[in-house]
Amino acid sequence: MDINGASAIVTGGASGIGAATARLLAAKGAKVVIADLQADKGEALAKEIGGAFCKVDVTKTEDIMNAIEMAKDMGPLRVLVNSAGIGWAQRTVGKDGSYDSAANLDAYKKVIAINLVGTFDCIRLAATAMSTTEPLNDGERGAIVNIASVAAFDGQIGQAAYSSSKGGVVGMTLPIARDLAAIGVRVNTVAPGLINTPIYGEGEGSEQFKEKLQTGVLFPNRLGYGTELASMVVECVTNSYMNAETIRVDGGIRMPPK
């Protein structure tokens, strides 16, 4: 699919994997809307790549609609990348046997609300807008790529909320792809492994932590680069025969229990 001159929305696009993806989409000629809560970073990146920034909380439907309308003003909407998400780690049962020490249910619901429900809300609204976009060859109107995680398959101790949310994203990929085939919109999911993003912090302690993390990566024995993830995301967008698939990009790692 040729995305030159088309518009694209990247949620969570102000940093990390989302920012790397936004840059690569722009390099392919797309007009990118950075949909994020981080205004300073988002506006700076939008200026850098000739796109636009829209402040978006993916748990708020109105925010998502605002980003979609902004994208439609920039060009035919053909791309949505769902990269917004948060993490949370807590054991299911506490050490003292009290109900109060059990996993925080509100925290669990928040992770699901952002990572899973927010992703679906973005899909249903952006796909609705894409359904009115003029089709390309073979009736193709657009492509959606979700960012999941290897935690969807290899969730570690304490990752019940995060793994649930990302497992849900993987689980809805095929049925939504089947659904959106009727309007010529493809849906794929990319499941990153350990990617070197600002989430791990900076400094000597951060570097030592990352060195420990990468010991389980088969090859190359390092954390992944944001550009490597972005490359796969953009391939899922531009390769018109990629549909209904979840792809791990993880250097061959299989996460241990902890």
- What is the per-residue DSSP string for 175-211? HHHHHHGGGTEEEEEEEE-SB--GGG-SSHHHHHHHH
Contacts (Cβ under 8 Å, ≥6 apart) of 236? 143, 145, 186, 188, 190, 242, 245, 247
The label of the residue with tokens 């000629």 reads: 29
**Torsion angle defined by CA atoms of residues 87, 92, 98 and 100, in that order, rounded to the nearest 10 degrees:** 30
C-alpha dist (Å) from residue 137 to 2, 140, 142: 10, 6, 11
Helices (H) and strands (E) in the chain, counts: 9, 7
- Pair type for strands 77-82 and 52-55: unpaired
Residue among 241, 211, 236 at smallest CA distance from 83: 236
CA-to-CA dists, residue 62 to 54, 57, 121, 223, angstroms: 12, 9, 10, 36
Q: Which amino acid is at 1?
A: M
Report the alpha-carbon distance of residue 243 to residue 138 in Å, rounded: 14
Answer whether the bond into residue 175 is a cis peptide, omega within 30°.
no
Catalytic residues: 162
